């Protein structure tokens, strides 16, 4: 494994992390590396190595959960891993909303099946953490709880559906493996700095708003929008994994009913941040997007497709899958998670307390473009 053995001292924990170069994964690896565990990060490519912390306790191993239980590593590497791994942290996922369903299933469902097959071969195994999304709720509205399964009303996109199917695989494995499920809300940046380490549909939507290419958004002004910062997601996940692990449980890492922001409030905060941090922007007189019902938005999408305006068409498609989530108003109950984290002083900050920092970072870095 890059010339390094992952065999630890007899009592040392060895944590296998998939998706360790993603937004949450790399933050978790950094926290694990600060402890006394050996960390093995399964990565698909060579170029991702630079985002991992450089320290003796972190080893990068090239592999791929999509190829099955071998994890895409050599027989000798797999044997060494199974003999030493005590914890499996499965963050790897296909998170693009509009992937064909079969592609999303290959990564999210079959990839999870493969990691669980591997976990069953680990005699020292103590914990398996599988990360999902609160949006397995799909088109459900109202309050969605940690014990709810979701999907009865259908899904907005292939990502939601494949993650719900992934969770079914995980629940089937819970009787014979020490597994906990962690459902994440949408991660938008660091609450302290505003820095965005991984762009998603929210950031693409912000760019379209900035460019005046999102004239309308489906939803109502009072609809709550659940967003979380990466530092909370990582701190909470780390503590739940290392100090409060409960197999068989499902946790919601989200803003919930008290820390979320309303859709109208977010739009107002976005426009105000654009004006504050790019004074020249206000000269363009870009109007705040109109909030409309879903059927009106769908008429708009069809009219854009029929008109054939490629710029507006690409913009609409880029935000469409996320925009549809806003049309199905829901809140996420996280009472069990909040109770588990309370002894450690970890609490999610209100969205509007840090949201402007994220918008400012996007604007001032041109959405992460190289200088």
Which DSSP symbol is given to 344?
G
Give φ, ψ of 133 to 5 degrees: -135, 145
Residue 363: strand, helix, or coil: helix
Strand spans (E) along 86-213? 87-90, 127-133, 142-144, 179-184, 186-187
Which DSSP symbol is given to 17?
E
Q: What is the pLDDT of residue 90?
A: 98
Q: What is the pLDDT of residue 11?
A: 58
Handedness of CA 148, 165, 92, 186 (dihedral sign): negative
Mode of pairing for the β-strands spanning 330-332 and 290-292: unpaired
* CA distances to 17, 69, 118, 147, 304 from 129, in Å: 10, 17, 13, 17, 42
For the chain, list the domains and their CATH numbers: 14-184 (3.40.50.720), 201-222+261-329+358-364 (no CATH)
Give φ, ψ of 369 to 5 degrees: -65, 145
- The strand pairing partners of 224, in sequence order, are 262
- The strand pairing partners of 250, in sequence order, are 181
* CA distances to 91, 146, 230, 243 from 238, in Å: 13, 19, 12, 8
Contact in structure between 144 and 93 (CB atoms under 8 Å)? no
Q: What is the pLDDT of residue 142?
A: 95
Calpha distance 38→180 (Å, rounded): 21
Burial of 68 (0-12, 13-18, 19+ CB in 10 A): middle
Torsion of CA 190, 194, 196, 202, to 10 degrees: 100
Q: What is the pLDDT of residue 322?
A: 76
Q: What is the pLDDT of residue 98?
A: 84
- The strand pairing partners of 143, in sequence order, are 331
Calpha distance 41→355 (Å, rounded): 31
Mode of pairing for the β-strands spanning 58-62 and 38-43: parallel
Give φ, ψ of 226 to 5 degrees: -95, 115
Report the chain (371 residues): mean pLDDT per 10 consecutive residues.
46 91 94 92 70 83 95 96 97 92 97 98 98 97 95 93 98 98 97 94 91 90 96 98 97 96 96 94 91 91 87 78 85 97 98 98 90 58
Q: What is the pLDDT of residue 4?
A: 47
Q: How many residues does the chain have?
A: 371
Calpha distance 309→291 (Å, rounded): 22
Torsion of CA 83, 89, 91, 93, to 10 degrees: 40
| Most distant CA atoms of the chain, gap in Å | 66
- The strand pairing partners of 133, in sequence order, are 184
Calpha distance 134→149 (Å, rounded): 10
């Amino acid at each position: 494994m890059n010339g390094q053995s992952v065999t630890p001292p007899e009592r040392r924990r060895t944590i296998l992390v998939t998706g360790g170069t993603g937004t949450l994964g790399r933050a978790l690896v950094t926290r694990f590396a600060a402890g006394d565990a050996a960390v093995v990060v399964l990565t698909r490519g060579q170029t991702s190595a630079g985002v991992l912390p450089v320290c003796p306790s972190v080893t990068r191993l090239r592999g791929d959960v999509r190829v099955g239980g071998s994890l895409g590593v050599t027989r000798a590497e797999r044997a060494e891993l199974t003999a030493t791994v005590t914890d499996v942290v499965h963050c790897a996922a296909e998170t693009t909303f509009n992937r064909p369903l079969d592609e999303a299933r290959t990564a999210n469902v079959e990839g999870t099946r493969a990691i669980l097959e591997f976990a069953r071969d680990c005699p020292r195994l103590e914990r398996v953490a599988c990360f999902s999304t609160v949006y397995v709720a799909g088109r459900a509205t109202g309050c969605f709880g940690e014990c709810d399964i979701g999907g009865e009303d259908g899904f907005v996109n292939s990502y939601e559906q494949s993650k719900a199917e992934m969770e079914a695989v995980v629940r089937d494995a819970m009787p014979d493996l020490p597994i906990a499920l962690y459902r994440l809300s949408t991660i938008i940046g660091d609450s302290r700095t505003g820095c965005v380490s991984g762009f998603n549909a929210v950031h693409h939507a912000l760019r379209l708003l900035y460019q005046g290419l999102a004239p309308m958004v489906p939803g109502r002004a009072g609809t709550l929008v659940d967003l979380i910062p990466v530092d909370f997601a990582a701190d909470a996940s780390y503590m739940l994994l290392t100090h409060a692990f409960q197999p068989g449980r499902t946790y919601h890492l989200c803003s919930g009913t008290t820390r979320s922001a309303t859709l109208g409030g977010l739009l107002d905060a976005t426009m105000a941040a654009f004006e504050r941090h790019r004074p020249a922007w206000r000269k363009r007189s870009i109007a705040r997007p109109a909030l409309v019902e879903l059927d009106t938005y769908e008429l708009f999408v069809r009219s854009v497709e029929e008109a054939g305006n490629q710029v507006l068409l690409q913009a609409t498609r880029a935000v469409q899958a996320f925009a549809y989530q806003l049309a199905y108003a829901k809140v996420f109950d996280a009472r069990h998670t909040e109770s588990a984290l309370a002894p450690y002083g970890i609490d999610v900050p209100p969205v509007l307390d840090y949201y402007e920092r994220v918008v400012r970072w996007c604007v001032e870095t041109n959405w992460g473009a190289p200088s």
